[in-house]
Structure 1
Amino acid sequence: FTLEEFKLTHGTNLYETSSNTNLKQTIEDCIKSRSSAIYTSYSTTKNNQQIWLQTTLTPIVSTEGKLIKLVAIDSDVTKIKEAEEEILMQKQEITDSIQYASRIQSALLPPADFLCKYMDSYFILNKPRDIVSGDFYWISENSTHIYIAAADCTGHGVPGAFMSLLGITFLNEIMAIHSEISTGNILDQLKNSVIKSLHQSGTDDGDIKRDIVRDGMDMAMIALNKSNNQLQYSGANNPLYLVREYNGSIPSIDKEPSVIINNTQLFEFKADKMPIGLHYNDTEDTFTTNQIELSAGDSLYMFSDGYVDQFGGELGKKFKSKAFKELMVTNNHLSMSEIKQLLDDTHNKWKGDKEQIDDILVLGIRI
């Protein structure tokens, strides 16, 4: 259109002809601030072609600061808008697919109330960083034991979720084959299955293995004996915390506590320093099965590293394991459900307006 043609076709009132509903406010802000403003609108050409226009509105003022006129320059941004709409549509399709994948992943996890059949007091705090998670928990049983695991797969989001599906599938296969099996043996077989399925290999170069596919998972696994207070624990890089209220009558544990506050002690059972998967300096052939005698009132915690690695606080530092341990010990008098809420609230307060950097998984069990 020429200007005259535009006036004849659309009139002279911009407020009535523009498709931008915020045009009036934009013009008022432009005049008030005496600075340029940019807005977009949908329009039709002389040939009835629908286009997107980006208008730069600039106020022209006198030396005394009085408004003389407004100059509007239109640019055709149709191709940019169409590209933006296509990207948004593709993003929505991808998001919908991941949302569906999240439902599949959730369906493979044991229901949160699954442990109700075996114990009265426990919690599962599961906070994925993205829609799907690289952290997962797993629960199974045989005639003598209840098996519980908390795992942290390589990566997060979609890559981590794929690895978690492998882990859950292999664990279920192992339990289907063996009627009696130790936690260490389970991790051994799981490690072999992951290495084989991912075709992991390394070539020796002196004492260093190179070209290794480092995908895998860290894991803490326990097996609770159904008939007594014996517990098995095995760990692939991830430890087990046991918090015990000591009153003199409870059997002692043959190791030094990591934290003591009043009469409450936290014992850390360290994991074997190797993941589920191939890694550098892979010299340990098998995972250790630790035997622990439990007492009524003991609290057990398994977790991924997402909680302690979260940046936050006034200085933007990591939360760290020391603060996590002290949180468990000082609040051991609370119920498991209250501790779960405390952990969630503490994390949110610590994180503040920062992004969650990793998936978070914490399992708590009280004997």
Structure 2
Amino acid sequence: MASLVQRLSGARFQQKLLIFVLLAVFLTTIVQFVFLMGNFQRITDFALQQNTAGAEQSAEEFLRNYADEKAASTWLQLEAAQANLAVLGQTAQQMVDHYPALRDNPELFNLALFTTQVQAERGALTGGAAERFEIFVPPSLVDDAYVRELLQVSALLNLSMEAIYQANSNNNFVYFVGDEAAPFTRGFPNVRLIDAVGEQLDLDFWQDYFPGAVQGWAQWYNDPALQAAVPSPITILGPYADAAGHGQVMTLFYPLWNKETNRFAGAVGADIRLDAIIANILSFQVARTGFAFLVNGQGEVVAMPQLGFELFELDLQEIGEGSLIYYRGELAKSANPAVHALAQQLTQSNDGLLTIDLAREGGPPSRELIAFASLPALADGNYNPDHWRIVLAVPEAEVFEVLTQTDAAVNAERVRISILSFGIVFASLLVVTMVSIRFSRVATSDLRVLATAAERISAKQYDTEVKLDSKDEIGQLGQVFNAMTREIRDYTNNLEQMVVARTAELRQANQEITRLNEQLRDENLRLGAELDVARRLQMMVLPPTQEIQAIQELDIACYMRPADEVGGDYYDVLQIDDSIFLGIGDVTGHGLPAGIIMLMAQTAYLTLSQSGERDMERIAQVLNRVLYHNIVRIQEDKNMTLAVIHYRERELTLVGQHESVIVCRANGTIEIVDTLDLGLPMGLEEDITEFVSTKRLQLASGDVLLLYTDGITEAENQARQQFGVEGITNGLRNYYRLSATEIVNHLTTDVYAFINNGTIYDDLSLLVVKQR
């Protein structure tokens, strides 16, 4: 081995390259071929295992996703039905709430849409066959004056009942039924209920058809905890066979409540056909015999195709609606223990994936993949949650039969590939040997030229250049070699000129840096002066203490601290004759522009109040127009929240959008007045007339009015928590018995204690007014 190494060390580079390439190729190829052929079978076996696992996982994910999709699409239809009924229910509740006013305006019911046309038939009252709306009054209620009165008023529901019916293609019948004293029916379309009920004309709608429903609704309306748990009053009953022959339906009720008597006031309902929902679920088919079915929260089968009826060995009821045929029954009544266990699993879990074996005793395995997903909870008559579930069942053998076929095909292909691989490797080695010999000869010729040129450069012959025919990396190396040679020659000849040039460039760069530093210093001085002017403007326009103390009716105290970056906070107190004007606002942004806009607002407000104008909405509109045009003129993208208040003889008139106004009554009760609907930010739009409205408040002796800007509520401590409105109200609740000045002092102390060492990002402003 040592002699071989010694012999190679004296050989030419071409020979070394050829031997290295051939050894590397031959050894690598032989080792890889032996290794690959030895492990090929293990790899294919592993691939088959992974394929099986992947197929199982894909099948499970598909079934889960499909169950979720079917559940979502089914819920969309049920949710749409509930949403439509809620619209009608809210309309009917408005009718109940305003019943006396509607009853006392009979001319309203002279309109054609609200006219109730009825005729006597078999002792009952009903609409004619040509009428679009259904009317049915049982014989026992025909002469009842209250029934007649409610029948007339309920005609108002004609306005929306037809639209609600048309909004959902699953609607079978939309209707209103009166309270327990007047259980007549008004609905759409006209389904001729008098014919549907047959001879049972005097059956009571609530007691005979839906016993116990009214008691469940009464519990909901009188139990706040139940209302919090179930926000919607809508309940679901069914499914059941429609007496009018429209197939399987379910009934949605929206109960109505008389708030004055705290009694049941009737209900609006919708009978929903289930044929479209069931057809969508039964359309599922995977493999040859996979199917889907629908169960309710009690594990009862609502709809199942014939495949499931036969597979689960159930005693089901066949239901046919045209071409749609399905079965109903109970899984728990199956004689097969696996189906019985499935029923328990469905009632105990909202979703899941499991495998059950339906094999008969002594028979071959019959494993089924079961995936199920729940719809959001419906509410039954007692507002208990009823989770319907979409269940998918697919035979495991049908899902994985393709894997067996794949296994045989892979084994046959493995043998063929092994033989083909050996032939390819042998031919490749022959080709590589021939190519390597030719390549080593061509590649090393240019290297020899470079080696010779390098020796000349080392002898300081810098005029040496090489000429290579190669266009690859070696050719690029030759070009770089020539460039380096020229660069060395140039550096040798021109080094002094280069040093001078570099020195001049550095001097110029240093001068530019010095100039920029001077500009930055001037800009900082300008900004500092601007902020100082803004602070002075902000503080100059604030009402002086002597003016505030001169007001006899009110105890007023104010506070403002500008932030490091001056904001645009503003407050004002003006006494004009027997009126007192108050104002508080905040300009968006910081700096001198914010201060100027604040000064514009103060000037305009002072001018308007001194002019004798007492219409606060008019003052707000003019203030906005002045600010809008001035902001456009100074070309600033800013606006201002501003609330202005007129006080006279213990009455406050409030207008304008700003932070909430807080009132603490003399007994400690806190009232928070939202100003969101009292206007728009000033300067945002030219005309805000349609947005401006007023709020009037009365002050009694000892009542406290608190105005503030967002710098107070948004003050943050080091944990990035905000002081908030809660912090203000808690403080006011503690200090409202004190004087206005003491309230301000205590509240500001609380704010600074909360901030601690945190940064103050915005102006802090407070205005406390206490009725003497």
The bucket for the TM-score relative to the shorter chain is: 0.5 to 0.7
Amino acid at match of 2:712: Y
Residue type at the aligned position of 1:352: N
Q: Structure 1's 106 and 323: CA in aligned 2 closer, same or farther, altered over 3 A? A: closer
**Quick check: 1:194–1:277 contact (8 Å CA) kept in 2?**
yes
Q: Which amino acid letter does the alignment assign opposite residue 706 of structure 2? A: Y
| 1:196 aligned residue (625, 629, 646) | 629
1:124 aligned partner: 558
RCO higher in structure (CA 8 A, sep ≥6) = 1
User: 1:142, 1:180 within 8 Å by CA — same for their partners in 2?
Assistant: no
| 1:182-261 paired onto structure 2 within 5 Å | 182-199=615-632, 215-225=638-648, 228-246=649-667
SS of equivalent residue, structure 1 residue 295: coil
Deviations 1:282-320 (CA, angstroms, capped at 9, x unpaired): 98614222222211111111111110011116x321111
Question: Counterparts of 1:291-302 in structure 2 under 5 Å?
Answer: 291-302=696-707
What are the within-5 Å matches in structure 2 for residues 5-44 of structure 1?
none
Match in the other structure for 1:287: 692
Asked if the contact 1:153/1:217 (under 8 Å) is kept, the reply is: yes
Alpha-carbon offset, residue 150 of structure 1: 0.8
Please state whether the residue corresponding to 2:732 is helix, strand or coil. Answer: helix
- Which residue of the partner structure matches residue 140 of structure 1? 574
2:717 to 305, 312, 316: 312
Instruction: Measure how far apart 1:101 and its partner are.
Output: 4.4
Q: How does 1:12-161 map to 2 (within 5 A)?
A: 87-88=520-521, 90-119=523-552, 121-130=555-564, 132-161=566-595
AA in 2 matched with 1:190 = L
Which residue of the partner structure matches residue 55 of structure 2?
A: none
- Distance across 2 between alignment mates of 1:307 and 1:217: 17
Q: Is the 8 A contact 1:102 1:131 kept in 2?
A: no
Q: Is the 8 A contact 1:130 1:157 kept in 2?
A: no
Residue 278 of structure 1 corresponds to 684
Contact 2:564 2:760 in 1 (8 A): no
What is the CA–CA distance in structure 2 between the aligned matches of 1:351 and 1:184, rounded to whole Å? Answer: 37
Superposition deviation, residue 85 in structure 1: 6.7
Seen in structure 2, the aligned counterparts of structure 1 residues 101 and 356 have a Cα distance that, compared at 3 Å, is: closer
Name the SS of the counterpart of 1:245 in structure 2. Answer: coil
User: Take 1:302 and 1:183, find their aligned partners in 2: how far apart are those partners?
Assistant: 17
**Which range is displaced more, 111-120 or 318-327?**
111-120
Note if contact 1:149-1:220 (Cα within 8 Å) is conserved in structure 2: yes
AA aligned opposite 2:730: E
Q: Deviations over 1:4-51 (max 9, x none)?
A: xxxxxxxxxxxxxxxxxxxxxxxxxxxxxxxxxxxxxxxxxxxxxxxx
Gap change, CA 1:346 and 1:80, over 3 Å in 2: farther
Shift of 1:94: 3.8
- How far the C-alpha of 1:357 sits from its partner, in A, is 1.7
Following the alignment from structure 2 to structure 1, what is the Cα–Cα distance between the partners of residues 541 and 577? 22
Distance change >3 Å, CA 186–CA 299, structure 1 → 2: same
Gaps of 5+ in 2: 1-509
Residues 273 and 230 (structure 1), Cα distance of their counterparts in 2 relative to 1, 3 Å cut: closer
Q: Which residue of 2 aligns with 1:59?
A: none
Q: What secondary structure is seen at the aligned counterpart in 2 of 1:126?
A: strand
CA 1:123–1:283: 2 relative to 1, 3 Å: closer
Closer, same or farther: CA 104–307 of 1 in aligned 2, 3 Å: closer
2:604 match: secondary structure? helix
CA contact (8 A) 1:214 1:277 kept: no
Quote the residue 1:362 is aligned against: 766
* SS state at 1:291 partner: strand
Distance 1:94 1:155 in 2: 15
Letter in 2 for 1:241: I
Hey, what does 2:751 align to over in structure 1? Answer: 347
Which structure shows the bigger proportion of residues in helix conformation? 2
**Residues 288 and 199 of structure 1: CA distance in aligned 2, closer, same or farther (over 3 Å):** same
Answer yes or no: is the 8 Å Cα contact 2:557–2:767 preserved in 1: yes
Tell me, in whole angstroms, the C-alpha distance in 2 between the residues paired with 1:283 and 1:93.
37
Q: Bigger shift: 301-310 or 118-127?
A: 118-127
Q: Is the 8 A contact 1:156 1:359 kept in 2?
A: no
Structure 1 residue 244: deviation in Å?
0.8
Amino acid at match of 2:652: L
Q: 1:326 maps to which residue?
A: 730
What is the identity, as a one-letter code, of the residue corresponding to 1:278? Answer: L
Q: Where in structure 1 are there 5+ consecutive unaligned residues?
A: 1-76, 201-212, 247-263
Inter-CA distance 305–86: structure 2 relative to 1 (3 Å threshold): same
Judged with a 3 Å threshold, the aligned counterparts in structure 2 of structure 1 residues 357 and 279 are, in CA distance, closer, same or farther, namely farther
Deviation of the 1:81 alpha carbon: 7.7
SS of match in other structure, 1:297: coil
Deviation string for 1:71-114 (max 9, x for gaps)?
Answer: xxxxxx99878865764465345424532443344323321332
Match of 1:181 in 2: 614
CA contact (8 A) 1:182 1:289 kept: no
Q: 2:767, 2:547 → 1: CA distance?
A: 13
**Greater fraction of residues in strand:** 1
- Structure 2 Cα separation of the partners of residues 134 and 311 of structure 1: 19
> Please, what TM-score do these two structures have when normalized by structure 1?
0.62
Aligned AA (2:747): L
Q: Quick one: distance in 1 between partners of 2:584 and 2:539?
A: 15
Q: Which residue of 2 aligns with 1:54?
A: none
Distance 2:679 2:534 in 1: 32
| Residues 530 and 591, structure 2, Cα contact 8 Å, conserved in 1 | no
2:669 is paired with a residue whose SS is: strand
CA contact (8 A) 1:129 1:156 kept: no
Q: Is the 8 A contact 1:244 1:298 kept in 2?
A: yes
Give the partner amino acid of 1:115.
I
Deviation digits for residues 135-190 of structure 1, max 9, x if unmatched?
Answer: 011232332311010111111232321220221122233234x3131322211211
What SS class does the counterpart of residue 198 from structure 1 fall into?
helix
Q: CA deviation at 1:336?
A: 2.0
CA RMSD of aligned residues (A): 2.9
For 1:188 and 1:87, the matched residues in 2 are separated by: 43
CA contact (8 A) 1:129 1:157 kept: no
Give the Cα–Cα distance (whole angstroms) in 1 for the partners of residues 745 and 597 of structure 2. Answer: 28
Q: Is the 8 A contact 1:235 1:270 kept in 2?
A: no
Q: CA deviation at 1:345?
A: 1.7
2:310 corresponds to which residue?
none
CA contact (8 A) 1:99 1:131 kept: no
| SS in structure 2 of the partner of residue 317 of structure 1 | coil
**Cα distance in 2 between the residues matched to 1:110 and 1:130:** 22
Q: CA separation in 2, counterparts of 1:144 and 1:335?
A: 23
- Count of aligned pairs: 258
Tell me the TM-score normalized by structure 2: 0.31
